[in-house]
Amino acid sequence: MGGLHPAALIRAKITRVVVGMVDPNPIVASKGVEKLRDSGIDVTVGVEEELCKKLNEAYIHRMLTGKPFVALRYSLSVNGRLSNQLGEGAKDSGGYYSQLLQEYDGIIYSSTSISKKCVPTSQETQLKQPLQILIARSPNSPLQLPHFSTDAASQVIIFADKDIVIDPEVSRQGIETVILGNLQLDAILDHCARRGLCSVLIDLQGNIGDLKELVQEGVDSGLLQKVVMEILPFWDEGKEILTLKKLEKRVLRLEKMHPETSGQNVVITDAASQVIIFADKDIVIDPEVSRQGIETVILGNLQLDAILDHCAHRGLCSVLIDLQGNIGDLKELVEEGVDSGLLQKVVMEILPFWDEGKEILTLKKLEKRVLRLEKMHPETSGQNVVMYGYF
Which residues face 172 on adjacent strands? none
The pLDDT tens digits for 19-66 are 999 888 888 778 889 999 999 999 999 899 888 988 899 999 999 999
pLDDT at residue 269, as a whole number: 35
Per-residue model confidence (pLDDT) at position 312: 92
- Residue range 254-302, pLDDT digits in tens: 555 566 665 552 222 345 567 888 888 767 777 766 667 778 888 878 8
113-154 residue pLDDT tens: 775 556 788 888 876 889 999 888 765 666 667 777 777 778
Spell out the domains of the chain, with CATH numbers in brackets. 6-55 (no CATH), 57-250 (3.40.430.10), 272-390 (3.40.430.10)
- Res. 369 pLDDT band, cuts 50 70 90: very low
Segment 227-252 shows an average pLDDT of 58
pLDDT category at 162 given cuts 50, 70, 90 is confident
Q: How far apart are CA 250 and CA 357, in angstroms?
A: 9
Assess whether pLDDT exceeds 50 at residue 311.
yes
Read off the pTM: 0.70
Residues in Cβ contact with 329 at an 8 Å cutoff, skipping those fewer than 6 apart: none
pLDDT recorded at residue 256: 57
Banded pLDDT at 367 (limits 50, 70, 90): very low
pLDDT in tens, 85-98: 888 888 888 888 99
**How confident is the model at residue 384, as a pLDDT?**
60
Please report the pLDDT score of residue 68 as a whole number: 95
Check residue 238 and give its pLDDT.
64
372: confidence class by pLDDT, cuts 50, 70, 90:
low
Q: Over 70: is that where the pLDDT of 242 sits?
A: no
Give the whole-angstrom CA distance, residue 84 versus residue 208: 10
Residue 139 · residue 164 · CB < 8 Å = yes
Instruction: Give the rounded percent of residues in the chain with a pLDDT score beyond 70.
Output: 71
Residue 111 pLDDT class (50, 70, 90 cuts) = confident
Dump pLDDT digits (tens) for 164-212.
676 676 677 778 888 887 889 999 999 999 999 999 999 988 777 788 8
Non-local CB neighbours of 359 within 8 Å, separated by 6+ positions: none
H, E, C per residue of the chain: CCCCCHHHHHHCCCCEEEECCCCCCCCCCCHHHHHHHHCCCEEEECCCHHHHHHHCHHHHHHHHHCCCEEEEEEEECCCCCEECCCCCCCCCCCCHHHHHHHHCCEEEEEHHHCCCCCCCCCCCCCCCCCEEEEEECCCCCCECCCCCCHHHHCCEEEEECCCCCECHHHHCCCCEEEECCCCCHHHHHHHHHHCCCCEEEEECCCCHHHCHHHHHHHHHCCCCCEEEEEECCEECCCCCCCCCHHHCCCCEECCCCCCCCCCCCCCCCCCHHHCEEEECCCCCCCHHHHCCCCEEEECCCCCHHHHHHHHHHCCCCCCCCCCCCCHHHCHHHHHHHHHCCCCCEEEEEECCEECCCCCCCCCHHHCCCCEECEEEEEEEECCEEEEEEEC
Q: Which is more confident, 367 or 163?
A: 163
Q: Cα–Cα distance between 10 and 16 in angstroms, integer?
A: 10
What per-residue confidence (pLDDT) applies to 290? 66
Could you give the CA distance from residue 125 to residue 19 in angstroms, rounded to a whole number? 29
